[in-house]
Structure 1
């Protein structure tokens, strides 16, 4: 008389292989994320360089507009100077024009420094982009291999699920439900063998002699007194 746990034990072997594959499939996105995280430092530096360049460009644009405004002001003063009625008025315009031209000179000196800073900023951005592209190229093969591995595992898992369904159909339904419940709870084994010396193959605790004997009886389904796993003691 065959033991009803034989097909269940065979099913568990299939489930163990399937669980391992499904776990690897679930782990691949995190592995990809860990690889991509290697780029985070360079990305951060690039973002900072881009922000700095944009800020410099905006400041330079503001300076240029202010210089244009002051130049228009100088032109306006010079036109008014030509219409001056007295020497005092003429000298007053000369003074105002000088003040504004000094402001223009100071702003133009700032513009030169900003343009130098902008060129440096562009060089830093280019350097960061080159480094980031190099790092991306370096990890692209790893990411592609993981994608290929995921596709391969998924295909294998689908085939194993079909095989698993056929094996499950050969099992006693009530026993299959009990097996599934324990497996979901323990996450490793639901059916364990009796180890030499009469120990449970799951928790390794010493089993009572009666349990060891009943685990070989095909008319009885017994569980470990300590961990609750189904104990199987096939005939040698």
Structure 2
């Protein structure tokens, strides 16, 4: 959107330059007509007099064409200015929308930071209640296997991590719930 607005601005500037160029050319031709009329009034020969008249008429016709071209350029300029104004409005509208989105992201980031701080504090409290050797093993497994390290065993005896069938012995220990049981395949902790 911003690029379209810049292109529209360049178009307006180009049209304004073209209008100035046409106006300059018209002014030069009017000066030329003045010189021809002066020459015409000073000439004594009929042939030179007629050439001056023809030159003035030809130059006036060229001025008419240039003035028509200037009017067309002015109409195009008005249209281009309206288009530029609309594009500038869209850019400003997009910028406001972007600022609102960034503000929402900032608020979300602050909320997420607060949530992370709360979860970190809660994790620290929970970790304090776990024996140090078990916590160390959990941390080591988290680094090597990723999360989750503790997975459920479904009713058919499948591991919730690798989805392989757990041995009958491991299944009985999980159902007993009195000791830490590891999956024979992926070595995650089953519950």
Q: Which category describes the TM-score, using the shorter chain as reference length?
A: 0.7 to 0.9
8 Å CA contact retained: 2:150, 2:189: yes
Partner of 2:112 in structure 1? Answer: 153
8 Å CA contact retained: 1:223, 1:229: yes
Q: Deviations over 1:158-185 (max 9, x none)?
A: 44345545656755434412222211xx
- RMSD, matched Cα: 3.3
| Larger radius of gyration between Structure 1 and Structure 2 | 2
How many residues align structurally? 185
Partner of 1:15 in structure 2? Answer: none
Task: Using structure 2 for the length normalisation, give the TM-score.
Answer: 0.73
Structure 1 gaps of 5+ residues are: 1-39
Partner of 1:101 in structure 2? Answer: 60
* Separation (CA, whole Å) in 2 of partners of 1:174 and 1:107: 89
Q: Deviations over 1:45-99 (max 9, x none)?
A: 6455444433322322221222122222223333333433422222222222221
Q: Which has the higher contact order (CA 8 A, sep 6+)?
A: 1
* Separation (CA, whole Å) in 2 of partners of 1:46 and 1:229: 61
* Separation (CA, whole Å) in 1 of partners of 2:19 and 2:187: 75
8 Å CA contact retained: 1:180, 1:190: no
Q: 1:73 aligns with which of 32, 43, 55?
A: 32
* Separation (CA, whole Å) in 1 of partners of 2:46 and 2:94: 71
* Separation (CA, whole Å) in 2 of partners of 1:85 and 1:165: 113
CA change 1:67–1:190 in 2 (3 A) is: farther
* Separation (CA, whole Å) in 2 of partners of 1:133 and 1:222: 60
CA change 1:64–1:175 in 2 (3 A) is: same
Q: Post-superposition shift, 1:127?
A: 3.7
